């Protein structure tokens, strides 16, 4: 395990275990996983299919729970929180970007981006202002009234990113954000993530299969057989 | 607006916009609710129409005297001696008198006759009422709409407007009732009440034609005032040859209508409830389908931090809205189809009685509430299911 020396660990996993019951048999994914990620870091997680990358990310997102171990993000002990508390934590502390964008097709781009803001006590006017700002940031200000189906994959993913950051969370989680995109769109999305990390100080954890995508991160962790190997550190 | 309301609102909106994706199953729910509403509204409208027809027939100022220990015209018998005794009473017996002091009274008897409506072979049973000349005038709201009243001793009849229309009987026509022919000399209106389903003729002529000479089933008398019924009842108690009762015409018909109307309701409610159970199962299926159709969307917004409550409330609201559309459709259809629709049933004297179905506000309220209940009950389980989606699994599928 490595920790950036000058930073407190922001995400801390220790002794995490997780198993799934598949056909009556208990299949362990992790038995004792440790991980520390300092605030402001941009970590890429790679590994073979089925190694548990998504499972790990879902635990970090508070939509899945470890069977045992301690999972702390900031000052929150996610492993000890109930569903309602985790829902509120998700609303306030993290943004998530999905491989398949997961935009609601019957809502416009602006309405999709606005969703996380509905959970905050903001006036409609404030919400509109914030939506406009993030859409501008991802270069889609002129698409606000369109529906997702009319857009390319790369554009939809940028809407996904806008939705993830609109409530200004400190943590951004991405599960194969470029897995469904061509090279050019993927590079645009990755450049955007790096910008969010460098200029806005977002802590980003990104699961990816693409070594080129991983190059955009500060470091890459390789997950295999329930443990991490650090592969590369940015200079 | 609180956050939970905002969440529910936006999710409900998304649900409704996504309805075209599951159009046919949603439509089937709407239609099944509409069908249930239609059926119940039909039965209730029938009961209501029946009540209205009978209630408007009865007047509180008219007394019907029945004899022989029955409280219906059927089976009642008034001996001639009783009538003579009554007519001999000179004091106040609660009954109105004409100038010469005679009681305003009509001796009556109902026999059932078979009549074939125009263009059909199957005869239908109708009530032929024999009465004294005063009979028509004693009744409230009765007026001749055509021709004249039957003459004493003549084989002449007047028919209620409703019957006239239905059976194509007009003034001047000749009809065979029993074994002899009768001439229609007029038609009368009774403001759509049960009387309009009757044929009226002279009492003695009816007695002779049906071999029941001298028989009297009931006496109809105009009371001095509604409260005078008590006076009449007291006077009748003094006559001991046979048990006699005096009821107000209003009560007589109310009792009759209550029996039949509750029979109609007794049949209509279980049938509608049974259909409603079927429709609820259909609604449950529709809404389960909706939840699984929206799995990824629900999981997505829940991942963003939306509450379980908003997911379930939005699902439930969708169910109730679909049911509400069904209710509106069902009510509109039943109003168009049933309101004012002519129906008939076996009325008081084992004869056909025609009436109009009445889709009233009360009928619509009851049928509408049953329809909404289908949505409320059918949507409950799916609403819970919407909160139980495991997010991690739901997100695995492509959005
Ligand atoms: N809800 C579940 N029930 C049963 N098994 C599960 C469940 N979720 C994940 N698994 C299993 O856990 C293992 C890890 O799954 P996970 O999705 O985390 O892998 P991954 O590293 O993201 O793979 P990929 O690269 O294909 O996305 C797999 O073998 C998967 O089949
Ligand atoms: Mg995965």
pLDDT tens for A115-145 read 999 999 899 999 999 999 999 999 999 999 9
A116–B305: do the CB atoms touch at under 8 Å?
A: yes
A102–B305: do the CB atoms touch at under 8 Å?
A: no
| A205/A217 Cα distance (integer angstroms) | 9
- Which of A55, A121, A163 has its CB closest to that of B3? A121
Mean pLDDT by 10 residues, chain B (399 residues): 87 93 96 96 91 81 90 88 90 88 92 82 87 91 92 94 86 90 94 86 94 93 92 90 90 83 91 95 95 94 94 96 98 90 68 79 95 97 93 74
Interface with A, mutate which of B8, B305, B307 (most A CBs under 10 A): B305
Take atom 3 of ligand 1 and give the residue whose Cα is closest: A20
Ligand located closest to A209 CA: 1
B304–A55: do the CB atoms touch at under 8 Å?
A: no
Take atom 22 of ligand 1 and give the residue whose Cα is closest: A54
Query: Is the CB of residue A52 below 6 angstroms from any atom belonging to ligand 1?
Result: yes
Closest residue on chain A to B2 (Cα): A121
Q: Domains of chain A (ranges plus CATH)?
A: 9-233 (3.40.50.300)
Take atom 16 of ligand 1 and give the residue whose Cα is closest: A52
Handedness of CA B202, B206, B207, B208 (dihedral sign): positive
DSSP A7: S
| pTM for this model (two decimals) | 0.80
Query: Is the CB of residue A99 below 6 angstroms from any atom belonging to ligand 1?
Result: no
Q: What is the mean pLDDT of chain A?
A: 92
B302–A54: do the CB atoms touch at under 8 Å?
A: no
Q: Quick check: A76 contacting B, CB < 8 Å? A: no
Which ligand 1 atom is at minimum distance from the Cα of B393? 1
Closest residue on chain A to B20 (Cα): A106
- Segment A38-70, tens digit of pLDDT: 999 999 999 999 999 999 999 999 999 999 999
Residue in this structure with the two tokens 């009387």, named with its chain if needed: B195
ipTM given for this complex: 0.92
Are B175 and B169 contacting, i.e. CB atoms less than 8 angstroms apart? yes
| A74/B252 Cα distance (integer angstroms) | 83
Handedness of CA A76, A79, A84, A86 (dihedral sign): positive
Pocket-testing residue among A21, A45, A53, ligand 1, by greatest number of atoms within 8 A of Cβ: A53
Q: Which residues of B129-165 are buried (b: 16+ CB within 10 A; e: fewer)?
A: bbbbebbbebbbebeebbbebbeeeebbbbbbbbbbe
Contact residues for B19 (Cβ-Cβ < 8 A; gap 6+):
B26
Ligand 2 centroid to A175 CA: how many Å?
A: 7
Ligand 2 centroid to A145 CA: how many Å?
A: 32
The residues spanned by each domain of chain B are 3-56+255-396, 62-249
Q: What is the mean pLDDT of chain B?
A: 90
A98–B308: do the CB atoms touch at under 8 Å?
A: no
A98–B301: do the CB atoms touch at under 8 Å?
A: no
| B152/B145 Cα distance (integer angstroms) | 20
Query: Would you state the pLDDT for residue B231?
Result: 92
Confidence of residue A5 (pLDDT cuts 50, 70, 90): very low
Query: Would you state the pLDDT for residue A3?
Result: 43
Query: Would you state the pLDDT for residue A4?
Result: 44
């Amino acid at each position: 395990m490595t920790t950036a020396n000058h930073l407190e660990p922001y995400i801390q996993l220790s002794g995490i275990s997780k198993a799934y019951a598949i056909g009556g048999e208990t299949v362990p994914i992790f038995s004792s996983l440790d991980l520390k990620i300092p605030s402001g870091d941009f970590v890429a997680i790679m590994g073979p299919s089925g190694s548990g990358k998504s499972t790990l990310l879902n635990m970090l997102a508070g939509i899945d729970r470890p069977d045992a171990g301690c999972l702390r993000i900031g000052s929150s002990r996610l492993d000890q929180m109930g569903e309602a508390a985790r829902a509120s934590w998700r609303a306030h502390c993290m943004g998530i970007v999905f491989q398949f964008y997961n935009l609601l097709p019957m809502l416009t781009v602006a309405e999709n981006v606005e969703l996380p803001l509905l959970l905050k006590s903001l006036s409609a006017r404030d919400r509109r202002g914030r939506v406009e700002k993030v859409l501008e940031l991802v270069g889609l200000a002129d698409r606000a009234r369109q529906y997702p189906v009319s857009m390319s994959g790369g554009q939809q993913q940028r809407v996904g990113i806008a939705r993830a950051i609109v409530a200004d969370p400190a943590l951004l989680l991405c599960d194969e954000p470029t897995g469904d995109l061509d090279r050019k769109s993927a590079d645009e999305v990755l450049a955007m993530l790096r910008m969010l990390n460098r200029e806005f100080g977002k802590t980003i954890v990104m699961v990816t299969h693409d070594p080129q995508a991983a190059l955009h991160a500060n470091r890459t962790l390789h997950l295999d057989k329930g443990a991490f190997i650090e592969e590369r550190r940015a200079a | 607006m609180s956050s939970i309301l905002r969440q529910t609102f936006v999710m409900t909106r998304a649900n409704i916009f996504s309805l075209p994706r599951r159009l046919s199953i949603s439509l089937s729910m709407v239609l099944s609710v509409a069908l249930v509403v239609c059926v119940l509204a039909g039965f209730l409208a029938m009961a209501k129409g029946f009540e209205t027809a009978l209630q408007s027939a009865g007047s509180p100022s008219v007394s019907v005297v029945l004899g022989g220990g029955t409280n219906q015209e059927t089976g009642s018998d008034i001996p001639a001696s009783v009538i003579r005794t009554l007519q001999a009473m000179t004091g106040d017996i609660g009954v109105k008198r004409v100038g010469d002091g005679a009681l305003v009274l009509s001796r009556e008897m109902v026999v059932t006759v078979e009549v074939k409506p125009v263009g059909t072979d199957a005869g239908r049973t109708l009530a032929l009422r024999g009465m004294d000349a005063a009979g028509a005038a004693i009744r409230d709201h009765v007026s001749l709409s055509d021709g004249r009243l039957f003459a004493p001793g003549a084989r002449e009849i007047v028919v209620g407007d409703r019957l006239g229309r239905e059976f194509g009987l007009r003034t001047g026509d000749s009809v065979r009732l029993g074994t002899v022919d009768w001439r229609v000399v007029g038609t009368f209106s009774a403001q759509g009440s049960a009387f309009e389903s009757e044929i009226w003729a002279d009492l003695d002529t009816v007695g002779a034609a049906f071999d029941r000479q001298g028989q009297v089933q009931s006496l109809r008398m105009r009371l001095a005032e509604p409260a005078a019924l008590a006076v009449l009842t007291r006077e009748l108690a003094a006559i001991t040859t046979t048990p006699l009762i005096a009821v107000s015409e209003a009560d007589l018909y109310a009792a009759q209508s209550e029996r039949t109307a509750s029979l109609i309701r007794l049949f209509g409610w279980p049938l509608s409830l049974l259909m409603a159970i079927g429709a609820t199962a259909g609604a449950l299926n529709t809404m389960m389908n909706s939840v699984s159709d929206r799995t990824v969307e629900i999981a997505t917004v829940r991942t963003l931090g939306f509450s379980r409550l908003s997911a379930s409330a939005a699902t439930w609201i969708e169910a109730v809205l679909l049911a509400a559309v069904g209710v509106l459709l069902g009510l509109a259809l039943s109003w168009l189809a049933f309101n004012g629709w002519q129906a008939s049933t076996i009325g008081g004297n084992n004869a056909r009685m025609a009436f109009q179905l009445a889709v009233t506000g009360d009928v619509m309220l009851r049928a509408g509430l049953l329809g909404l209940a289908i949505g409320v009950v059918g949507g409950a389980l799916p609403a819970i299911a919407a909160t139980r989606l495991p997010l991690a699994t739901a997100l695995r599928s492509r959005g």
